[in-house]
A and B are shown apart, each in its own frame.
Chain A
């Protein structure tokens, strides 16, 4: 009996102890007090670091403003925002948050009053046009475009040479050319040409955006699958790749990276942010080149597209004016900051004046002295602007299933028609 009373007392004391701890930190819990800006972002070595560079630059001019950058996993940010915003409690929410472009509209449209328009804090037309669609609603600019998801085709030049090609042969090609070259490379080297995750159709997204098309129509709401010519061609290209026996399958990110780091796979069309994963294999220095992504042959498609990328948003909580001012004076106009971003974390922004800076023109020895940043910056400006809408990932879940049916023998028109029917009932 005595023991239990002791245990009870101890636990009561512990609770009181932590509650007083809670009391002390109450200021931090507010998150919205005007004298301190709280920022949420993911990836300590990329987004968080970028924000910290911006913070340094801003505090040099405005020493009185305290800024705290908190690292949260991307999925964790989504979970927290959704819970906080849908419960109508702004308590605990940050002032500035990073949101992936594919998901931006779902937040902006689902919680219209919770985000602050910040169009007055910077010149939207200074940014790559394709970033403005996802970051605005009805012409009102809510997001400050951050990193470019501009895609390139990373390719092993040593394997290409064994098959009798050079990187120049891969300039401005179509996906059909890409498959043809891949088949030759596989014959010559035995290495697979590309690795794909059947549950991630990022490659389809890249293909259709290069033709100015998306899973939804321009209104961002109606699913556009059934008579979407670009999507149909992308499906066909995907199947051709599979049939050509040049694809290695992976099921998660670590396998994906490993396939390249181990030298088992010879090319990867993906976003520029993948550069650091490629360069992690130091022994492959000088063996890689980055060329423009292939385009679709039968659609009005360009050799430039996007994969991923995100932007900064200001939440409608106390401190919003300060937050907008901070973003506008850093990511919105500071050319020097963008040079630092390139030099220190290889982050390519979408602020066009920044491309004139020195850091953008520096050659990269890992890629045989190629000016990769400058190339990426050039391609960024060619990316077609599409409306990602609210349901990119929901529709993609449907397409993942239909893609397997198509590979299993269903006709492409039928697969897309079925996907359309399902999307129409699921998405309102």
Chain B
């Protein structure tokens, strides 16, 4: 009976795994096929990877776009972690009624879809452009600034901080650490897993971010990877082999970041302090 249950479970899990992994697999296979084969649903690896790669590098500036995406994502992630964790820490450790109200308002802001904020934001950056061009429209700063701090990340850090043993703070204070010292020397190292999870979430969101970069980044040389892919797919006769190859290249960095931090990620999601 137990073995039967086990067999059933394995069959179910294998099925679920196959379904989840199929799109990824299909992307890899398609990147080695010609466009015609892709549209005809060929499921076997082909020999066109080299051809697709050379076409991709010929048609578009992938390296530039990768650099742009990397620059934006890394800076966004670093700043987001620093600011959001400070905020989450502050909200939880120095609690007061007033701060709880501020926090609720912050949470409410999660309900406003970005599309609704976009036009006013664009207008704001449009006027900034005239006085401070280096954070105005069509700069990397204009992509980073509005997407840097999210209510979700602050919430995430605050919830994780709930499980942080407050005694450790007291110990630190008694030993003569300043408040910032307590934060950087005790809180940050203890919450490593939370930081890892937050880093993955932020990095992926920033790497895949499409709408806002699309609107503010106009010069072709500043484009990020998702914008590049969008262009490739919009032609009247798209070359699916090339598109799949570029998507594969675009996926690699996030996959690498994820696998590097996977262990911490799962731990961070389930509860950070043991």
- Taking Cβ atoms with an 8 Å cutoff, the residues of A that contact B are 1, 4, 7-8, 10-11, 14-15, 18-23, 25-26, 28-29, 31, 42-46, 70-76, 79-80, 83-84, 86-89, 91-92, 253-255, 257-258, 261-262, 273-274, 276-277, 280-281
Contact = CB atoms under 8 A, between A and B. Distances in A.
Interface string B129-164: 110011111111100100000000000000000000
A64 B64 CA distance: 29
Contacts of B166: none
Interface in B214-257: 214-216, 218-222, 227, 230-231, 233-238, 240
B144 to A, nearest CB: 8
Nearest to B227: A76
Nearest to B142: A22
Contacts of A10: 78
A168 B192 CA distance: 75
A45 B235 contact: yes
Contacts of A72: 231, 234
The 4 closest A-B pairs by CB, nearest first: A89-B126, A22-B139, A73-B234, A19-B134
Contacts of A84: 122, 215
Given A79-B211, A83-B118, A92-B138, A73 B133 contact: no
B119 A83 contact: yes
A254 B120 CA distance: 37
26 contacts: A1-B185, A4-B82, A11-B75, A18-B71, A18-B139, A22-B133, A22-B139, A22-B140, A29-B218, A31-B218, A43-B234, A43-B236, A72-B231, A73-B233, A75-B234, A76-B227, A79-B215, A80-B218, A83-B122, A88-B123, A89-B137, A91-B126, A92-B216, A255-B39, A261-B36, A281-B36
Contacts of A31: 218
A281 B240 CA distance: 14
Contact of A262 (B40, B82, B139): B40
Given A10-B78, A254-B240, 15 more contacts: A19-B140, A22-B136, A29-B136, A44-B235, A45-B237, A73-B234, A84-B122, A87-B119, A88-B123, A89-B126, A89-B137, A254-B39, A254-B238, A258-B40, A262-B40
A91 B219 CA distance: 12
Nearest to A274: B236
A66 B209 CA distance: 32
A382 B182 CA distance: 79
Contacts of B10: none
A253 B220 CA distance: 26
Contacts of B45: none
A92 B218 contact: yes
B236 A28 contact: no
B181 interface: yes
B79 interface: yes
Residue picked from B38, B40, B141, B237, most chain A C-beta under 10 Å:
B237
B17 to A, nearest CB: 25
A42 to B, nearest CB: 5
Nearest to B126: A89
A224 B206 CA distance: 45
A415 B211 CA distance: 36
A7 B234 contact: no
Nearest to B125: A89
Residue picked from B82, B120, B138, B227, most chain A C-beta under 10 Å:
B138
B116 to A, nearest CB: 12
A10 B135 CA distance: 18
Contact of A46 (B74, B120, B231, B235): B235
B190 to A, nearest CB: 14
B75 A15 contact: yes
A87 B219 CA distance: 19
A306 to B, nearest CB: 16
